Each structure stands twice: as structure tokens, then as C-alpha cells.
Structure 1
Amino acid sequence: MHRWIRYLGRLGLSLALLLLLALPAQAGSVDWRELPATEEGKQWWDAGSLRRTRDGNLSVLSRYLPPPEEEGRPRLGDLYVMELDCGQKLYRDTAVNGVPRFKADWQPAGGDQLLDAMIDAVCAAGSDLPA
């Protein structure tokens, strides 16, 4: 009898774990904000991913789509997790297409209108986030 109770307990625990694993994952809301397109391409940033880092900078998910090739074929875009230093107007890509970039260097926008617009828009939106 004692064996049956242990068996039923294990079976119940296994079923409970299976049910938990079958539940849909709850992802955060995605709120893509499109920046004005330039010759460099198109870029969006996700307002739902905007966060402060431990250093007080901003972190945001962005999507970049380069301009089509001359043959008119669309090119694949990339997803970036960017960290922005709004005070110095610098950025660094901490992940590209899901692959972390440890110790990524800080860079200026360097005249790239998309990056300038990105830094301005994200820094304005993140200015009211707690430090």
C-alpha cells in the first residue's frame, strides 16, 4: 500500500510538471517604433524593451533593415540589443541576432542619420525611467 501512495505521488508530480511546461510562455509586450527611413535603411526600436542598466545607461531592442539590393531583392535585417549612453550620445551593440557581444566598444553615431535618430528617440523616451 505504501508503495502505491509513493507511486501515485510521483505520478501526480510528473503530471503537474507536464501541465506547467505546456502552458504558454508570457512574453513582454512588443511596441515597435519606426524611425524615419534614410539611405542607410530602416530602423525600429521596441519601447517595451526599454530599460535602465546598472550603470544608468539605457538598453533597448532594435531592428535594422538595410536598403534593398540593386536587383530589388529585399535583404535580411538584424536584431540588436543596444546600450545607449545618452549623456555622451554613444552606443554599443551588446547582442546581435541573439548572440551576446561581451565587452563591446562604445561608438559615436559617426554621422549615421539612423543611429542619430535612434539615440535621440530612445534617450527622449527613457528620460523619465528611474535610475
Structure 2
Amino acid sequence: MHKINQTIKNKLNNLLKILVLILLILFNTKNIVYAANINWIEVSKTPTGIQYLDRESIDIKGKGIIELTTKYLKIDSNNSKVIEENIYIMKINCLTNKFKDISVNGKKNLTAKWEDPDGDKLLDDVISDSCENV
């Protein structure tokens, strides 16, 4: 009787190990597929930065509001080298041309408020390009 219980216990342990391995593989694959779906398109460029947009990320939320993913590269104007890169998830109100960054580099911004681009060419261009077909 003791030998049967030990055999069942060993089989259950092996099954559990296989299940954990399968789950790890599935969760890893999901992250790889998501990263492969980003298609950055340059929207605007200034001597101090470049703004990109993932057009496939545009999600219409209703009442003129969209959500999308952008990437900003800060450029050193002295040598034209990238000195900083940030990924944003933004909401844009296409009716008022205001925006809010709800996530920066994967960190959610729960206190984000609607802002005016205040003449920032990169933000203005992202807003007009993104809202074009909404």
C-alpha cells in the first residue's frame, strides 16, 4: 500500500513540474508576440527629438477619445545622438486636441490630467496624425 501511494505521489509531482513548465513557456511566448507587433512610424522630428507612433495601437475609446502608444527619442542637439528613449501610452481627445500620458515606460500614471500641447511640434503632430481618421 505504501509503495502505491509513493508511486502516485511521484507521478503527481512530475505532472506538476510539466504543468509549471508549460505555463512558463506560454507566458514567455505572449511577451515575445506582443513586442513583435509594434510597428513604429516616425511622425515628427526636431533638432532635439523624434516622435514615433504605433498606428496599429490606436484604439477608439468613444466621444473623440483615442488611446495609443508612442515613442519619444530625446536627441543631443550638439552631436545628434539619442540620449533618452521613452515609451508612452497616451489618451488623446481629438475634439479638444488635449492629451494625457497614462503610462510612461510601463509605469502607470494614475494621476494623469488632460494637457494642452502648448505649441510642442512633436505632440501637435502626434495628435493631428492620430486623430486624422477618427
What's the TM-score bracket when you normalise by the shorter of the two chains? 0.7 to 0.9
* Alpha-carbon separation, structure 2, partners of 1:22 and 1:82: 31
Runs of 4+ that moved beyond 4 A:
none
Report what 2:25 is aligned to: 22
Report what 1:99 is aligned to: 107
Q: Deviations over 1:7-31 (max 9, x none)?
A: 2023112212213313442233111
Q: Relative to total residues, which structure has the larger strand share, 1 or 2?
A: 2
Contact 2:50 2:74 in 1 (8 A): yes
Give the aligned residue type for 1:7.
Answer: N
Contact 2:40 2:53 in 1 (8 A): yes
Q: Relative to total residues, which structure has the larger helix share, 1 or 2?
A: 2
Identity %: 25
Contact 1:78 1:97 in 2 (8 A): yes
Matched residue count: 126
Gaps of 5+ in 2: none
Gaps of 5+ in 1: none
* Alpha-carbon separation, structure 2, partners of 1:93 and 1:6: 52
* TM alignment of 1:75-86, pairs within 5 A: 75-86=83-94
TM-score, normalised by the number of residues in structure 1: 0.81
Report what 1:3 is aligned to: 6
C-alpha displacement at 1:65, in angstroms?
1.3
Larger radius of gyration: 2
Q: Deviations over 1:23-60 (max 9, x none)?
A: 44223311111113124421001123222347762111
